[in-house]
Homo-oligomer: A and B are copies of this chain.
Amino acid sequence: MTDDPPPHPALLPAGFTDLLPPDAEAEARLTETLTASFTAHGYQRVKPPLVEFESTLFAGSGAAVAEQTFRFMDPESQRMMGLRADTTPQIARIATTRLAHAPRPLRLAYAGQCLLVRGSHLAPERQVAQAGIELIGPDLPAADAEIITAAAAALHAAGLESISIDLTMPPLIPALLGDAAPHAALIRALDRKDAADITAQGGSLAPVLLALLHAAGPAEPGLAALAAIALPPQIRLLADRLAATVAAIRAEAPDLRLTIDPVEFRGYRYHTGIAVTIFAPGRQAELGRGGRYLCDNGESATGITLYPDTILAVAPRHAPRPRIFLPHGTAPAIAASCRAQDFATIIGLVPAADDAAEARRLHCTHLWRADRALPLQGS
């Protein structure tokens, strides 16, 4: 704490914001649209709490977000608790404890807020909405494909027509580099996708690494290139899994814009198989991200998290609901009838000298006058 004067009453901590009208309504409706689509695809909603013991929050894949998690002591148990920074580890916990005996494949959905200790330069937000699905059980290309097509369907329901989906296989490069501590310079070169540097640092693996690098791009030519590379059998299995996943996606969604990137492996800290990032076309912002991982008990699972705040910025908005001003004393039955016609009703609390002027002052689009909804000019 400092001795500075208290902040201005409107000041929020960096990375926290108030959503105002009409954005808060749009975000809520968007989240409803995404979760309704998840439900229609057989994913049943669960709602873990915002707070857990850190020992359960950081188990399994949760360890990846430990340093981004706000922690404080529970005065009741005197144990440390954390505010979730990611929902997926909580869903995995529920799947392997309370729902351990539910039949597999187990399909779960969620939507809620997460809190981060620090924002980044590119993503300063420290409260992030998440809406996602997890498919717990079989480690199959069809399962990886299902969460991808279900996420794409949810984004389609939200009005996003031409998303782009990038598939990676994060275990591939580590498996290729082997157990020997990899050369930091080579990791950096792969990370920057710098062909000259990969050649310089890759040693005997350089030809394979360069071929993998060149296979990145649209899925079908990329898979053809990948198939032509001479790979050790263990690596070939991973490449084949990527190809099988693309095939399973194509069976469900032939027109989806798919790219593959066999060299990408950073930033997927707990993924043990196919991983995925969803982009809006021509934009840097990620609409969602996910992939295959292991639950704390070793059970395989895959999932995708969508980011409603990011999606809100690119999704088409619903037309705002028309607002009708009902002068003081308008019968309640008229108000109810206006609401049944999808108006938001704004009731005059006192008689107004000029109802039309009062309606405009309150940003109404319509005025109830002479037994009908009169559209207001200029609104």
Chain A positions near chain B (C-beta within 8 angstroms): 1-2, 6-7, 9-25, 27-28, 32, 35, 39-42, 44-53, 55-56, 59, 70-81, 83, 93-94, 96-99, 103, 105, 107-108, 110-113, 115, 117-118, 126-127, 138, 140, 142-143, 146, 251-253, 296, 321, 323, 328, 332, 339, 342-347, 349-350, 361-363
Contact = CB atoms under 8 A, between A and B. Distances in A.
Contacts of A59: 9
Residue in A22, A53, A117 with the greatest tally of chain B CB atoms within 10 Å: A53
B74 A13 contact: yes
A84 to B, nearest CB: 11
Contacts of A103: 361-363
Given A18-B47, A20-B46, A27-B47, 20 more contacts: A1-B78, A2-B78, A6-B55, A7-B79, A9-B97, A11-B53, A11-B56, A12-B53, A13-B79, A14-B77, A15-B76, A16-B49, A24-B46, A28-B47, A32-B32, A41-B345, A42-B344, A75-B117, A140-B350, A142-B350
Nearest to A107: B346
A25 B32 CA distance: 11
Contacts of A48: 18-19
Contacts of A70: 72
B9 A296 contact: yes
Contacts of A28: 35, 45, 47, 111
B350 A50 contact: no
5 closest cross-chain pairs (CB), A and B: A10-B97, A19-B47, A16-B49, A21-B44, A24-B47
Contacts of A321: 39
Contacts of A12: 49, 52-53, 56
Given A13-B51, A13-B53, A16-B52, A46 B21 contact: yes
A346 to B, nearest CB: 4
Contacts of A108: 21
Contacts of A71: 72
A18 B363 CA distance: 41
Contacts of A55: 6-7
A40 B345 contact: yes
